[in-house]
Amino acid sequence: MSLPMKSSAASPFGPQAPLQPLLSREQIAGRVRELGEQISRDYAGESVLLIGILKGAAIFLSDLARALSVDATFDFMAVSSYGRGHKSSGLVRLIKDLDESIEGCNVIVVEDILDTGLTLSYLRALLLERRPRNLRIAVLLDKPSRRLTPLEADYIGFSIDDQFVVGYGLDYAEHYRNLPDICILSEAAPDAGPKGH
């Protein structure tokens, strides 16, 4: 399938969607498989609880879960950060909490992208208060140059430059999440209000 770049007027992404391919679905699938193998080795003989951060991580979580050979359960949280379009402000608000206790669990927080680190720092502190057995972080993408708070993920799909990307769960104003490839969105749209993840 070709990407909707400079696509026809029939495209749901608009006639001039400014998308440049960055990571193909094949590259993503290969790396997700490797992460699944790594996590399965690290938790051999144990169970893991994957906590997906809605909505961006939904696609990554569903592929990562199927790349695991260890027992896995899922739960989800949703947060919103008040930011300006592409930027996080650091004010994170919990919109949906977990369904179950995580006490004593091997928790892996699954997120689409680690950018400033503000969202995951907030979530990490919140979840650690609930006394999991351990807590690790898996992100498909990392933008280390954007970090405002010192936070590293334990499992990282790809480190990328400071570019705004969409696809494979990542959105701009809720669009593009369903692109199978990850693309750079080269033109910024006007700043928006509160953004979901």
Question: Rule CB under 6 A: which residues touch ligand IMP?
Answer: 56, 88, 111-120, 164-166, 170, 197
Q: State whether residue 23 is helix, strand or coil.
A: strand
**Among Mg ion, ligand IMP, none, what does residue 136 contact (CB within 5–8 Å per kind)?**
none
Residue 143 interacting with Mg ion (CB under 5 A): no
Q: Name the residue nearer to ligand IMP (CB basis): 29 or 148.
A: 148
Q: Please, which residues have CB within 8 angstroms of residue 15's CB and are 6 or more apart in sequence?
A: 6, 7, 8, 9
Which DSSP state fits 63? H
Among 28, 83, 112, 127, binds Mg ion (CB under 5 A): 112
C-alpha to C-alpha distance for 59 and 36, rounded to whole angstroms: 14
| Residues 60 and 76 sit within 8 Å (Cβ to Cβ) | no
Which residues, in sequence order, are bridge partners of residue 166? 183
**Among Mg ion, ligand IMP, none, what does residue 119 contact (CB within 5–8 Å per kind)?**
ligand IMP
**Minimum CB separation from Mg ion for residue 139, in Å?**
9
**Minimum CB separation from ligand IMP for residue 164, in Å?**
4
C-alpha to C-alpha distance for 111 and 116, rounded to whole angstroms: 13
**How do strand 71-82 and strand 194-196 relate by DSSP bridges?**
antiparallel
Q: Which two tokens stand for residue 85?
A: 């379009």
Q: Name the residue nearer to ligand IMP (CB basis): 158 or 164.
A: 164
Out of 112, 115, 142, 171, the active site residue is 115
**Minimum CB separation from ligand IMP for residue 187, in Å?**
13
115 catalytic per annotation: yes
Catalytic residues, by residue number, are: 115
